[in-house]
């Protein structure tokens, strides 16, 4: 597990589809940072963009934990290997069944691959996923849908995660900005 100290019992990773280096860097970076902050172990990037790996792992290095980014993965192979290893695959899409209906069954699994797209996802993904889940059935974004999904999957428990070996740690304060020594 990524953070045994935090007592997470689920292994969760993200598969990012359709990333276009010239357009999606900011959003894909935020997909990774959101995943890390909310308890995922790592992100598989189904595109070749070493900058994403570097920038997310740089942040993870300073803020603790050992979140990984795997660059240029074959998405079908990633899904098949995840399933062969006993995991389930949840594709976040506004066309899926409402998260409120599907989340209880998904919570029964302790190994979950969450798939998010960029512009348009390959149509095969709808059949390969174990669950196609919609967060609100309205169009919004991969960052917001991922954040809400992870929060529900972990029952809110990852909002207070502690990240081991952090160089930077915030001392929460009502006003201003403070870091722990
Ligand atoms: C900007 S959307 C692209 C939507 C695109 N029009 C399509 O047909 O797939 C990018 C990603 O955000 C996620 N997303 C957007 N709205 C969502 C929703 N309501 N529920 C779940 N995921 C959503 C999906 O993973 C989607 O692939």
- pLDDT band with cut points at 50, 70 and 90 for residue 2: very low
What is the phi/psi pair of residue 83, to 5°?
-65, -40
Q: Which domains does the chain have, with CATH numbers?
A: 4-160 (3.40.1280.10)
pLDDT digits (tens, 9 = 90+) for 101-149: 999 999 999 999 999 999 899 999 999 999 999 999 999 999 999 999 9
pLDDT digits (tens, 9 = 90+) for 140-165: 999 999 999 999 999 999 999 999 99
Rounded to two decimals, what is the model's pTM?
A: 0.95
Best residue among 122, 131, 139 to mutate for probing ligand 1, ranked by most atoms within 8 Å of CB: 139
- pLDDT band with cut points at 50, 70 and 90 for residue 3: very low
Q: Which atom of ligand 1 is nearest to the CA of 133?
A: 21
Q: Is 176 left (phi over 0), alpha (psi -120 to 50) or beta?
A: left
């Amino acid at each position: 597990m990524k953070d045994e100290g935090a007592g997470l019992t689920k292994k969760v990773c993200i598969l990012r589809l359709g990333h276009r280096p010239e357009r999606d860097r900011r959003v894909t970076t935020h997909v990774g940072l959101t995943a890390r902050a909310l308890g995922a172990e790592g992100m598989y990037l189904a595109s070749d963009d070493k900058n994403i790996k570097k920038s997310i792992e740089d942040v993870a290095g300073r803020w603790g934990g050992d979140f990984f980014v795997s660059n240029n993965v074959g998405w079908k192979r990633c899904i098949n290997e995840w399933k062969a290893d006993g995991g389930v695959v949840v594709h976040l899409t506004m066309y899926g069944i409402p998260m409120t209906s599907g989340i209880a069954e998904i919570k029964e699994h302790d190994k979950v691959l969450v798939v998010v797209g960029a512009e348009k996802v390959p149509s095969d993904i709808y059949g390969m996923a174990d669950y196609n889940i919609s967060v609100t059935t309205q169009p919004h974004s991969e960052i917001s849908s991922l954040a809400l999904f992870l929060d529900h999957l972990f029952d809110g428990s990852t909002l207070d995660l502690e990240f081991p070996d952090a160089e930077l740690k915030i001392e929460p304060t009502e006003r201003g900005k403070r870091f722990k020594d």
